[in-house]
Structure 1
Amino acid sequence: MGNVPCPPQQITIHCKICGCENVRRDASVEWSPELQMWEVVVVYDAADCEDCGGETNLIEKPIAVGVS
């Protein structure tokens, strides 16, 4: 048996202030004529929390996976 790559850890993104997941980030998009849809070209650093009502920092929390 060789080395089997593990999938990356799944995460959720939370507000650093209140811990909720109801967060947003600004981004810039451009139209792709080939795909006929908007494509994200950049995601900005600033983040807002819909529950706190203001700017925040974001934190990642791993999703617990059940053990069979």
Structure 2
Amino acid sequence: MAESVYKVIELVGTSTESWEKAASAAVERAGESLRDLRIAEVVQLDMQINAGKVEAYRAKVKVSFKYEANS
């Protein structure tokens, strides 16, 4: 097997419903413009609060994809 290189970026997804949907939103959006996504790791969860109520769930996600140099 040939050697490979992967780039890792951090994204923050949001959802008004759950952390799971927030993380999924980040990965799905990344998949629209990045090829060959490999691993997603949730590294932080938090919530946006307004007037004592949760308005949004946020998930910080590290996503890796295969790095390909321009030819």
- Measured against the shorter chain, the TM-score band is under 0.3
Q: Which of the pair is proportionally richer in helix?
A: 2
| Greater relative CO (CA pairs within 8 A, separation 6+) | 2
TM-score (norm 1): 0.28
TM-score (norm 2): 0.27
Q: Mark the structure with the bigger radius of gyration.
A: 1
